[in-house]
Structure 1
Amino acid sequence: MKPTTTASFAHFTGLPVTDAVRVFCPVPLKTHPIGAAALDRHAWGWAIQHGLITAESPYARMNLGLVAATSTPFSSPEFAKAWACAWYWAVLWDDWLDGLDTEPTEQTVHTAEVLRVLSTPSTVPDPEDRWIASFRDLSRLMKNCLPSDGLAGFQRSFTNWLVGDLWKRSLQRRTAPPSLGEYLRMRWQKAALESAAWGVASGGAGYTLTVEEHLDPVVHAFTQAVLYPCALFNDLVSLAKEAPAAQAELNILTVLAREHGIGRAEALGTYWELHERTVSLMLRLQRRLLADPRPHVVRYAVQLPQWLPATIHWTSTSLRYLELPAVAGNEGTRITLPSVSMVADPTVWDPDDLTPPPYPDIAWWWDQVG
């Protein structure tokens, strides 16, 4: 059932958000030649085939194909289709675990069963379970379009994401709130940011990065400077979605407010400064990598930043974050965001100011500018 009431983002969250939000994103949005709608239809049909959703499911209005099409626009058609299926699987799995509403025990058991698929051949019998069967098929799709090192990256990054999901669920139940450092470390895994990086350099676009190259300090700092702004922008927009689910304590605004002893409204300004200084740093690190003698590292430096406009565009338009489900006493709420535009220049931070932020978990990135 579609929501029958509407509320502005500012009203619902209590944040001082203007009618027009300008987000620093100097990377133009690109879309895979297949198109977002076609990828969405393909992955939607795949999810129905495996019994993960029905044809009447509200997930049809979440446009998951858009983020698949715009995050890896340079990939092969085969990988783009598998990538869209992976997005559907991941979002549906995450929401299904939310619905278990138990202590982490059952969530851990189900996660371990899925992870077992990554280390067993397809000839090994699986329990009759739609999540295991669909993940087995997703692994097959990836195997059919990736080289062996790319497939290994898929397995490693998905493992880390599934463990990160359990990490967040454990923090939701822990009495002590996370520090900013712990929150950022958890968010890297929970947001599947390693999978995002892997998706670009998995072989789906004709090249791979080795584990050693991913862990090169400059490459890794660049990767995180691209992808953390994606996850934290998602944090901002998902505030309305998370509040009814009692997840607001695990959001970048709440964590920044606690870190600095300020209110969430003031933390919003701190967030925008962090976003702009990180994206400014990303451009500096990108310029350094564009001069790297390794051609595939140069390609990675060109292609990975597509994640930034992809995330901003999808998150600010997807009903996943703007259509709240019905709960006892109401029939759901449609959240109206202010207009969001991506701009080429920062508005609150001097891009020539390379002072690291006072957060040790990320401050080391600034040392890599050279």
Structure 2
Amino acid sequence: MRAPDVWPDETVVVELPPRYCPFPPVRHPREAVLARRTADWITGFDLTPSPQQLDRMRGNDCPGFYGRIMPDADAGRLQLAVDWCTIMFHFDDVYCDEGPPAERLGLVTDLATKIPRVLEFPDTPLGGAGAALLAPVRDLSRRAGRWATTTQRRRCVDAHRAWFLAVLWETGHRVAGTTPALNDYAHLRQHTAAGAATLSWAEIITGEEIPERDLTAPAVRALTELAFTTAAFDDDLFSYGKELWIARTENTPPPGLGLVEILRREHHLTTREAITRSVDLCDRLTHRFARLRDQVMPRASAPLRAYLGHLTNLIPGNLDWGLRADRYRNPDGRHPGAVTTRASTTRTPPADTSPPPIPSIAWWWDTDLA
């Protein structure tokens, strides 16, 4: 292998098979305004990001990400989710990804307990090594309090606790250098990707509380997990080139905490075979989501219809955003265009729409859900 100092000048290109997606991506008309406001907001806190980190924050394109989920939302309210997305990507980049996992485990654990508490009670005293990150979280909590019902705030806090529990599970594997089984990864990936935490803001932004009986109905739970997992697996496809580039830079094997590597190692596949199988799995999940959604939507209440619309937008929106965002194209914030992922979408359904042989998620295909 070449010396590590040569690798940053090279590029990585990942070719993906056509990805089945019957839903068109949509955009919010005021993304540029949202971007300016969130840039101004973040400078009001003592985060002291480096120029590289500031570039990464801009490159994450949080207005474009959340604007694709809620294209019709009031921009003033949507700003709350865009600001949250900006600070949480910063948390992921700086606290979860940078440096040896064993060295950052203590700080990640500390923040994983404090962030939900500050969201729950914004007057919680701030302190410790991660206090700078908690200040914008406090601001988000206070702003959410203007609109959120008690139930919506509880759902938001619970979703963050689920996310951080999964982050600690993932960090444990990074510290140990182990690769989880596909069956475990498949049902936890929605949580490591902050699926519920992300969508918890949508209900606050719309102002309509989804009835508990609707949100916890088995079909809606399946649709929720399908959308979150599909988007997260797509993220694994976008980030695979980034992982390869960093592994080459550091002269180490790619980490075993992404769908492609897990499939490759568990089933002894070539990289191309693992990529193809990953796309096939995403296609099956998307097809199942579309079929089940069409069965549930006609009898859904107005708040539930809005929620299902956000889940629907998440799938093509995340695809469209992920293939453009510098988050994946600029792997370390210093090498723009170092990674290129080439992909296209198709409206032709996959040939195989049966449940994948993954027991932990097979219930999404239960025939009595709808």
* Fold-level similarity (TM above 0.5): yes
Aligned length: 349
**Identical amino acids, percent of aligned pairs:** 22
Taking the TM superposition and a 5 Å limit, the aligned residue runs for 1:200-279 are 200=202, 202-243=203-244, 244=246, 248-279=255-286
Residue of structure 2 in register with 1:26 after alignment: 22
Q: Is the 8 A contact 1:157 1:195 kept in 2?
A: yes
What SS is found at the alignment partner of 2:304? helix
Matched residue type, 1:7: T
- Cα deviation, 1:39-60, whole Å, max 9, x if unaligned, reads 1221122112113355942122
CA distance in 2, matches of 1:95, 1:359: 30
Q: Is the 8 A contact 2:328 2:339 kept in 1?
A: no
Per-residue deviation, 1:362: 1.2
CA distance in 1, matches of 2:177, 2:81: 37
Per-residue deviation, 1:176: 4.0
CA distance in 2, matches of 1:4, 1:358: 39
Per-residue deviation, 1:340: 3.3
TM-score (norm 1): 0.85
Residue of structure 2 in register with 1:150 after alignment: 152
Residue of structure 2 in register with 1:89 after alignment: 87
Distance 1:84 1:333, change over 3 A: closer
Q: Is the 8 A contact 2:122 2:138 kept in 1?
A: no
**Which of 32, 49, 58 is the matching residue for 2:55?**
58
**Which of 330, 335, 338 is the matching residue for 2:338?**
335
CA distance in 2, matches of 1:236, 1:40: 26
Matched residue type, 1:58: D
Matched, 1:184 2:186: yes
Per-residue deviation, 1:242: 2.5
Matched, 1:116 2:120: no
More helix by share: 2
Residue of structure 2 in register with 1:13 after alignment: none
Distance 1:39 1:179, change over 3 A: same
Distance 1:303 1:121, change over 3 A: closer
Taking the TM superposition and a 5 Å limit, the aligned residue runs for 1:71-86 are 71-86=69-84
- Cα deviation, 1:15-73, whole Å, max 9, x if unaligned, reads xx26xx5322211222224x222212211221121133559421223322210211122
What SS is found at the alignment partner of 2:174? helix
**Which of 153, 161, 164 is the matching residue for 2:163?**
161
Root mean square deviation of aligned Cα = 2.6
CA distance in 2, matches of 1:174, 1:338: 29
Structure 2 residue runs without a partner (length 5+): 1-6
CA distance in 1, matches of 2:156, 2:200: 7
What SS is found at the alignment partner of 1:144? coil
What SS is found at the alignment partner of 2:82? helix
Residue of structure 2 in register with 1:14 after alignment: none
Residue of structure 1 in register with 2:3 after alignment: none
Matched residue type, 1:41: R
TM-score (norm 2): 0.85
Q: Is the 8 A contact 1:6 1:333 kept in 2?
A: no
Matched residue type, 1:39: L
Q: Is the 8 A contact 1:29 1:306 kept in 2?
A: yes
Q: Is the 8 A contact 1:7 1:333 kept in 2?
A: no
Q: Is the 8 A contact 1:22 1:340 kept in 2?
A: yes
Q: Is the 8 A contact 1:27 1:306 kept in 2?
A: yes
Q: Is the 8 A contact 2:242 2:339 kept in 1?
A: no
Residue of structure 2 in register with 1:319 after alignment: 326
Per-residue deviation, 1:165: 1.7
Q: Is the 8 A contact 1:230 1:307 kept in 2?
A: yes
Q: Is the 8 A contact 2:119 2:140 kept in 1?
A: no
